[in-house]
Structure formats: C-alpha cells, structure tokens
Amino acid sequence: MYKTTEINRRLETLKALLERIHRAWRPEDFEALMRFFVEILPRLTQCERCSVFVVDPTSDNIWLKFGTGVREKAIIAPMRGSLVGEAILSGKTVIQTGLERRAGFHAISDRQTEFVTRTLICVPIRSLAGNYHIGAVQLLNKQDNQEFNASDEELLMQLVKYLSLAIEHNTVTGEIIEITRGMHTEFARSARILAGNNRFIAESRAMRQIVSLVEQVNPLPVNVFITGESGTGKEVIARLIHDRPGERRARPFVAVNCSSIPETLMESEFFGHEKGAFTGAAASRMGRFEEATSGTLFLDEISDMPLAIQPKFLRAIQEMEGVRLGGNTIHRYDFRIVSASSKNLRDEVKAGRFREDLFFRLFSVDIHLPPLRERVEDILPLMMLFLEQISIRFKKKTRGFSPQLLTLFESHAWPGNVRQLEHEVERLVALTPEGEVITEAHCSLPLLENRLPKRHAIASDTLSLPEHRKRLEIDLIRRALRQTDGNKVRAAELLDITRQSLHNKLKLYRIEDTE
C-alpha cells in the first residue's frame, strides 16, 4: 500500500502532466485546419461544397463534422443507406451523377441544408493506425455541369492522408486527456481511501448486516436508497456499493448534493449545457448524467430536489436519455442510482413536496443506517481509525486514549453521529501535547456535560464506573483467551465481538504485554 505522501507526489505529477497536455493541444487549431480543407478543396476541384465525415466508433453513425454551409447544423449519416457510408464500408471512391432526380440520404440532408445535390464524389479516409476507415471526404456539384473524374479522385486521395493524420491526432490526444482526467479522478479518490487506510468499520451487528446487504445488491442492476440521520455515513455506504467488485467499479462515482444546488442551475447541473445556452455559458459542459455513464450517480439529500425539476428528472432516468440545455442532440445514459436522504421521503411524498412516481423509481432496495448511539461497538474502532488518520495528517504522535475517555465516548448520544465523532477526535489530537495520553481534559463542552458525576462512583471499593468496566472487560477477555488456548478468533466468537474489536481491546488494555 502506498503511503499518503507518495500518492500526493504522484497526484501532483499527474496534474502537471495534464496541464502540459492541455497547453500543447488546442482544439481550435484542429478546427482551423479542418475548416481550411473545407474551404480550399472546392476551389482546387472547382465544385460547390465540401464535407468531412467522421465515423462514430460506438455506433453505426457517421457525423458530418465540418462542411460548407452546415457550420451550425448537425447531420448524421447512417452507415448503410448513404453514399458516404457506402464509401467507408467498401473502402472505395464513390462517384455519382443525376442525384437531383434520385431519392436517398443525400436528398434528406439537402432539405436540412436547403441545397440540391446533382453530382458527388466521396473518398474514404483510411486510418493510419490500422486497416479500417475513420471517415470520408465528400465533394458536391462540379461547376459548369461537369462530372467528377479520375483527376479529382487522385487529388483527394493525396489529401485524405493529411486529413487522416489530423483526425487521428485529434482523437488520440482527446482520448489521452480523457484517460488522464480519469486517472486524476481515480488517484484523488484512491488518495482519500488510502489516507483512511481503506478500512470500513463494521464491528456492530447492525453494520455487519448492512455490509452483507451491500454484497447482495452490488452485482445486481438495482437502484438503492439509503436513509439515516445526518453524519451516519450514507456516502460511505454509497461508495462501498460502487467499489465492490463488479463492472461499474472502474467507472465514475459521481456524487451530487441536491440541497447545495440552486434551483435555477439544477437542470444545467444534471443535463449539461451547450455553449451560449444562457448568459455565462462560455463553453459546452456535460451534465452529471453523462459524467456518471457506466458508473454510479450518488444523489445525496434527494428530498431537497426542487419539485419543478422532478418531472424532467423522472423522465431522464426512465428513458435513460436527455438533451443538454441549448442543444438538440439526444445523449444516452447508463448508470446506477444510489440516493440518500436524512428526511423521511415518504413523509415528503405525503406532504406533496416529492413526486410519488419519482419516489418509487429511485430505488428497489432501501438501506437504513442506524445512528451511532445504537451501534456503540463501532465507537472504539472508529476512534482508533480517526486517531491514525489525524495523527498522520497532523504529523503528531500521542499515546492513545485513556479508558475514562473511552467510557465517556461510548456513553455519549452523538447527535452528529460519525461526523461529530471524527471532529471530536480531531480536536483532542490537536489539543493533546505530543507524546501524552488523550484524556477528557480537552473534550468539547457537549461531551463534558455528559460526563458522569463523581458521586455515581461505586462505593464498594471506591472505584469509578470506567474502572469497573475496564476490569470486567479485561477479566472476560482473559477468561476467553484461556478457554480457547489463546485462539483469538474463537475468543472473539465467545465474547460476541469481531476479531478486530478484540484486537483493539487487547491493544487498548495492553493485555498481551502483561501476560
């Protein structure tokens, strides 16, 4: 396992590489070159129009990327049923005349561009990387009612080599950037996971049942709804669902907090927008639906989604498709939805603040996270985990927690749940002097107010409740170890705790050191 500092170093190197690629590759340069071809070829061949088509590798469609008179129009030619498709499939030049009297895809595109095609030559663009074709160049209407001939074909055959180089360089560089971005995201996510020692705490019976449920639903294409109080770890469970072995594991995990997005930006956030769609839209941007394709879309605080956007949201996840703001191209989606809410969504439906049809569409399985006060067994392991993480981050060493502090933490109600526990440990590490034991002295006021008064100490031998608890646990652990001849797995089963919980208590009480 990499150390956090090593991950950060590699992440910074990757960021620098991404920035260099961005500076070296400019989409505007590629577009300028292609427009130059589109403008100069009609002059060289004495025709009316020129178009450059590029094959979409994920479908049988052919996109008209650049063309005379079609700068603002999107034309998609089918692979079968069009002359450009015929040229690409056969790998041979197609020359046609008398097209103004014939039906076909050229007639459909003519209506879109308000043009009449009479004569045509189409030359396929062969990939420089393999024996396949990536597009085609098409010229329309030779001037003076002439027909395209072998000279035109020879000129185009020479020029398409340069077009192939430009198109493939643009495609490969774009893919490098997308891969690098993906690596950047994955490294950042891995850094967060590894900084936390990649451990998920499930010592309590309730949390072990949740982990079992996660393992059941992970391989199934079902949407999951997670409920629980704020701070119980709903996003942690969502990431656990995503990160379990499966085909979506290597794909994006896109988290959206619905309560933090202004209503006016909600549609753009999920569907994306095209350049110029609204004031300030200086560039096109894909929405969260597109970003999550093949992966997981996590919708936190889904109950706070504005009612006005819910019908569009419902249709998008029903049809798994949508259109960006200001665009007309339909984008297909493919993602699993994991949603979460700290509110009772059924109550929101009854109150008319959440659509019932969207409610039933959002999940097939629901998972309820109990509050931390109902899973006391998780408190000590979480304390140990947070202590390890925070000590690394602060570059500070302490001697661990005092037994009294442990008892105080386990008796506290934790209204802020795991998030509050983490912040309390962070406070204690920050305020405890280097190399000393962490005690109650620096606890926040809410915890100190919860501390048991000294008058509640047991009078029989003047020992406090924490000391009695400590002695009882040590005695039970030693008896279990004696009964199992030191077998910690069997001892943990006798004590009805997990192996890791037993290990933590052995370390806390230093039992093995005194045996």
Question: Exposure pattern of 77-105 as b/e (b: 16+ CB <10 Å)?
Answer: bebeebbbbbbbeeeebbbbeebeeeeeb
Distance of CA 282 to the CA centre of its chain: 24
Distance of CA 26 to the CA centre of its chain: 26
Last residue of a domain, one of 370, 398, 426: 370
- Share above pLDDT 70 across residues of the chain, in percent, rounded to a whole number: 81
Q: Do 350 and 459 belong to one domain? A: no
Distance of CA 200 to the CA centre of its chain: 19
Q: Do 32 and 158 belong to one domain? A: yes
Q: Do 333 and 310 belong to one domain? A: yes
Distance of CA 442 to the CA centre of its chain: 38
For residue 177, tell me if it sits in a domain.
no
Q: Do 150 and 222 belong to one domain? A: no
- DSSP-based three-state secondary structure for 59: coil
Q: Do 437 and 343 belong to one domain? A: no
pLDDT tens for 298-338 read 999 999 999 999 999 999 999 999 999 988 899 999 999 99
- DSSP-based three-state secondary structure for 365: strand
Q: What is the dihedral of CA 185, 191, 197, 201, to 10 degrees?
A: -40
Q: Do 455 and 334 belong to one domain? A: no
Q: According to the model, what pLDDT value does residue 313 have?
A: 92
Nearest to 34 by CA among 61, 59, 65: 65
- DSSP-based three-state secondary structure for 80: coil
For residue 403, tell me if it sits in a domain.
yes
Rounded to whole angstroms, how far apart are CA atoms 405 and 452?
12
For residue 453, tell me if it sits in a domain.
yes
Instruction: Confirm if 25 and 13 have CB atoms less than 8 A apart.
Output: no
C-alpha distances in angstroms, 414 versus 278, 383, 384, 418?
45, 13, 17, 8
Alpha helix segments (H runs only) across 72-149: 83-90, 105-113
Instruction: Confirm if 241 and 217 have CB atoms less than 8 A apart.
Output: yes
CB atoms within 10 A of CB 222: 14
Check which CATH number belongs to the domain holding 402 and give it: 1.10.8.60
C-alpha distances in angstroms, 418 versus 190, 202, 408, 421, 491?
21, 13, 15, 5, 28
For residue 49, tell me if it sits in a domain.
yes
pLDDT tens for 29-69 read 677 778 888 888 888 889 998 988 888 766 667 887 788 76
pLDDT tens for 413-436 read 999 999 999 999 999 999 999 989
For residue 189, tell me if it sits in a domain.
no
Q: According to the model, what pLDDT value does residue 21 have?
A: 53
Q: Do 394 and 277 belong to one domain? A: no
* pLDDT (average), residues 439-455: 74
Query: What is the pLDDT confidence band of residue 512, given thresholds at 50, 70 and 90?
Result: low
Rounded to whole angstroms, how far apart are CA atoms 212 and 365?
13
Check which CATH number belongs to the domain holding 329 and give it: 3.40.50.300
Last residue of a domain, one of 315, 341, 370: 370
Q: Do 263 and 343 belong to one domain? A: yes
Kindly tell me the number of DSSP H helices and DSSP E strands found in the chain: 20, 15
Nearest-10 crossing angle of helices 403-411, 379-394 = 120
Give the count of domains, the chain: 3
pLDDT tens for 199-244 read 578 878 888 889 889 888 888 888 999 999 999 999 999 998 888 7
290: left (phi over 0), alpha (psi -120 to 50) or beta: alpha
Q: Do 366 and 388 belong to one domain? A: no
Nearest-10 crossing angle of helices 205-217, 234-243 = 40
Q: According to the model, what pLDDT value does residue 71 have?
A: 55
Q: Do 341 and 411 belong to one domain? A: no
Last residue of a domain, one of 370, 403, 429: 370
CB atoms within 10 A of CB 494: 16
pLDDT tens for 103-162 read 888 888 888 788 899 999 999 998 877 778 888 999 999 988 889 998 889 888 888 887
For residue 320, tell me if it sits in a domain.
yes
401 DSSP assignment: B
Tell me the pairing of strands 285-286 and 330-332: unpaired
Quickly list DSSP for 270-286: HHEE-TTSSTT--S-EE
Q: Do 343 and 452 belong to one domain? A: no
For residue 77, tell me if it sits in a domain.
yes
Q: For residue 47, what are the domain limits?
A: 27-172
For residue 278, tell me if it sits in a domain.
yes
Check which CATH number belongs to the domain holding 54 and give it: 3.30.450.40
Rounded to whole angstroms, how far apart are CA atoms 463 and 426?
30
Q: Do 214 and 123 belong to one domain? A: no
Q: What is the pTM of this model?
A: 0.52
Rounded to whole angstroms, how far apart are CA atoms 163 and 126?
9
